[in-house]
Amino acid sequence: MMKKIVTILLCTMAGLSMLAAADGDAEKRPVGDVARGKVVFDSLCGECHEASSREEKVGPGLAGVKNGQLPTGRKATHDRLLDIVNDGPAEMPKLKDRLTEQQKEDVIAYVLTL
C-alpha cells in the first residue's frame, strides 16, 4: 500500500517537472518582431521570394501565407516555417547557421503577415 502511494507520488513529481521543463523551453524562444523580420526578409529571403505575390522567383512567392497556407498547400504554422528556415525544403538552402534564433523568430513573424 505504502509502496503504491510512493510510486504515485514519484510519477506525479516527474510529470510536473517535465511540464515545468516544457514551459521553460517555450519561454526561452525569442518573441518575433514583424518590423525586424521584414529587414531580415529583404536582405536574405527576398532574393528568392516575392513578398507581395505568388509569382515564382527562385522559390515561390509567399503572399497569402497569412491565410494559413504555404505555396505547396501545406498549413502555414510557426513550427513548419522554422523547419523551412532551418532545413530548407528541397531546393532551398539551409539557413540554420545564417540567422540567430531571434532573427528566425522575427522573419517567421513577418512571413506570417504576408
Query: CA-CA distances (angstroms) from residue 7 to 16, 17, 20, 51?
Result: 14, 15, 20, 55
Distance (Å, whole) CA 17 – CA 13: 6
For residues 52 and 72, which CB has a smaller minimum distance to ligand HEC in the complex?
72
Distance (Å, whole) CA 56 – CA 6: 62
For position 101 contacting ligand HEC by CB under 6 A, the verdict is no
The interface region with ligand HEC, picked from 2-10, 14-22, 24-32, 71-79 by CB under 6 A, is 71-79
For residues 38 and 111, which CB has a smaller minimum distance to ligand HEC in the complex?
111
3 state SS for 36-62: HHHHHHHHHHCCCECCCCCCECCCCCC
Q: Residue 82's closest CA among 73, 70, 91, 16? A: 70
The correct pick among 39, 71, 78, 102 for binding ligand HEC (CB under 6 A) is 71
The interface region with ligand HEC, picked from 2-10, 16-24, 27-35, 91-99 by CB under 6 A, is 91-99
Cell output for 75: 498549413
For residues 7 and 69, which CB has a smaller minimum distance to ligand HEC in the complex?
69
Task: Give the residues lining the site for ligand HEC (CB under 6 A).
Answer: 44-45, 47-49, 58-60, 62, 70-72, 74, 81, 84-85, 89-93, 95, 107, 111
